[in-house]
């Protein structure tokens, strides 16, 4: 009789204890215990996923991404693995299907755009979504519109298109087809996705998927918005399991709906940026940034949301220029000019939003 590649533990409770004791260790024995724990959990979902494949993929993922994974608790990592198994997807960043991301000192399961589409097609086999990107050069030649009962997309593409050159991409669009007919087009601008990126407290860290896989994250956010009215999409939020029982039921944190949270945070960021633009003194700026860090629960300004970091860089440059002006009248005139220019920018942005 051939020996099994991985032996399951006696119970899920034993597996939870073993996982807790070993998932922060780096030796080979710890890896084996982590794998055995995951395999024990995966057996509970073998009607939805191959337990061995799910285990080996997840165990290797956890070791390869230990800096990120260990930001969460054992309860959260086990819950994320069980979530993935229950959905029938493997933890595998390379495939763009599912991976773990840090969120406010927690770990949560993030679903990639490929799996989101696969999940939607389980409920609606005739659904297809095609994602395209628009470069800065192409933006004046792109538009989508409704013509009667039809949705039309006009996109003139130019030769030098590189999907890896994300700095040159200004918009993603998703064409949604039902029975081969184009029924809708959803768009996500760079400004919008940068706001969504700013909601991640770890967006600027070296291990953040926003830094390592920005385009894939953009696609996933667009796919979620494109499909949310057609199918029920899983909520991305931290979860945990009870470590004192044999049960693998996932319990979610109880907080407001993500969409409402995003809108509130976006308004919050806008208010901080507006306040920043009214500061033209170096000492006042430094004090304000220190208070802002405390307000957002971070130690240094580089860990603030990206939109605030960018606004602070611009404002600090303005303050530096102001400090070079010796004559008070000239300094006041320069500040007034800055205010007028920024007001015009804000008016233009509002006009564009309302078009």
Q: Is the pLDDT of residue 260 over 70?
A: no
Task: Round to whole Å and give the CA distance between 204 and 221.
Answer: 18
Asked whether the predicted pLDDT for residue 104 surpasses 70, the reply is: no
Summarize the confidence of residues 181-207 as an average pLDDT.
80
- Taking residues 259-272, what's their average pLDDT? 72
The residue among 76, 66, 65, 81 whose CA lies nearest residue 104 is 76
pLDDT above 70 for 353:
no
Q: Could you identify the residue written with the tokens 């907080």?
A: 255
Q: Is 231 exposed, middle or buried (0-12, 13-18, 19+ CB in 10 A)?
A: middle
Identify the residue with better confidence: 127 or 258.
Answer: 127
| pLDDT of 324 strictly over 60 | yes
Sequence ranges of the domains in the chain = 12-109, 125-230, 258-346
State the DSSP H helix or E strand holding residue 64, giving kind and residue range, or none if neither: helix 51-64
- Which is more confidently placed, 165 or 11? 11
Per-residue pLDDT for 333 more than 80? yes
Neighbours of 255 (CB within 10 A): 10
- Tell me the average pLDDT across 244-268: 72
For the chain, the average pLDDT equals 84
pTM: 0.63
Residue 154 pairs with which residues in a beta bridge? 143
d(CA 329, CA 326): 9
What pLDDT is attached to residue 54? 94
Query: CA-CA distances (angstroms) from residue 190 to 187, 343, 344?
Result: 10, 22, 21
């Amino acid at each position: 009789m051939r020996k099994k590649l991985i032996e399951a533990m006696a119970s899920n409770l034993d597996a939870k204890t073993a996982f807790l004791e070993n998932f922060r260790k780096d030796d080979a024995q710890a890896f084996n215990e982590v794998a055995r724990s995951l395999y024990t959990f995966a057996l509970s979902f073998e009607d939805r996923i191959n337990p061995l494949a799910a285990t080996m993929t997840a165990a290797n993922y956890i070791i390869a991404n230990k800096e990120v994974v260990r930001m969460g608790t054992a309860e959260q990592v086990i819950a994320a693995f069980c979530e993935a198994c229950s959905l029938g997807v493997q933890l595998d960043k390379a495939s763009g299907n599912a991976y773990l991301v840090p969120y406010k000192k927690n770990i949560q399961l993030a679903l990639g755009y490929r799996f989101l589409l696969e999940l939607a097609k389980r409920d609606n086999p005739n659904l297809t979504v095609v994602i395209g990107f628009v470069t800065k050069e192409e933006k004046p030649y792109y538009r989508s519109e409704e013509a009667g009962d039809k949705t039309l997309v006009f996109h003139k593409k130019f030769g030098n298109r590189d999907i890896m050159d994300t700095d040159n991409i200004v918009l993603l669009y998703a064409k949604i087809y039902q029975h081969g007919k184009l029924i809708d087009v959803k768009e996500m601008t760079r400004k919008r996705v940068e706001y969504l990126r700013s909601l991640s407290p770890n967006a600027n860290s070296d291990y953040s998927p926003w830094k390592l896989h920005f385009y894939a994250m953009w696609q996933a956010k667009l796919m979620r918005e494109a499909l949310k009215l057609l199918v029920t999409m899983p909520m991305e939020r931290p979860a945990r399991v009870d470590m004192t029982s044999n049960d693998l039921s996932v319990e979610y944190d109880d907080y407001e709906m993500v969409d409402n949270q995003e809108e509130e945070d976006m308004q919050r960021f806008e208010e901080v940026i507006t306040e920043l633009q009214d500061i033209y003194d170096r000492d006042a700026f430094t004090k304000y940034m220190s208070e802002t860090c405390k307000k957002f629960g971070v130690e240094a300004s580089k860990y603030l949301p990206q939109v605030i970091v960018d606004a602070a860089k611009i404002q600090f440059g303005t303050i530096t220029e102001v400090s070079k002006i010796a004559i008070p009248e000239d300094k006041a005139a320069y500040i007034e000019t800055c205010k007028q220019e920024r007001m015009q920018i804000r008016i233009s942005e509002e006009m564009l939003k309302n078009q």
